Amino acid sequence: MRFVYSRPILIAVMGIMLVWAVPAYGDDLRRDGNWWLADTSISGTGGLTKTVYMLGMFDGMNLGLYLRGIDDTLSKTDRHFLNKSVQYLNGRVENIKVGQLESGVDKFYTDYRNRSISVHDAVLIVVVSIWGLPEDRIEALTELARKNAANNSGK
């Protein structure tokens, strides 16, 4: 007996599988070191989620700044300050590549004490490290992030 299938049925079945798989992968709403490290050790995606997360972060940062820049409720002074801020931030992050940031966050989470720190806090610490912030200030930021993570772990 020959199995006959049609392309629409195959696409529908694959779509249903995808709809079930994506929510299961995203069930844990905490985006911390455990989630970050699970991307390669459990899901088998080879780090694809990390790359997509980083790209979304960069795009979201730019979109948020630009949307705020077209806000009609801003005064001329506020708009000037915002435009200067956008220029400053773009100048500071334009030379940071996604792979560099991913590697930095991977290294940050190799310390088991950092696993409960949110990914966005880890990214901040890695970015200021890339910028050349002194090591003692980076360690102070890391300690603060650990304390914040411990205080928020039950929420």
- Residue ranges of domains in the chain: 31-152
Task: Evaluate whether 43 touches 21 at the Cβ level (below 8 Å).
Answer: no
At residue 138 the predicted structure's pLDDT band, cuts being 50, 70 and 90, is very high
Q: Which pLDDT value is given to residue 119?
A: 92
Contacts of the segment 100-107: beta carbons below 8 A, 24+ positions apart: 100/130, 101/54, 101/126, 101/127, 101/130, 102/47, 102/50, 102/51, 102/54, 104/129, 104/130, 105/36, 105/50, 106/36, 106/37
With 60 as the cut, is the pLDDT of residue 76 above it?
Answer: yes
pLDDT tens for 30-67 read: 789 988 888 665 445 556 788 888 888 877 777 776 67
Among all chains, which residue has been given the structure tokens 């069930």?
A: 27
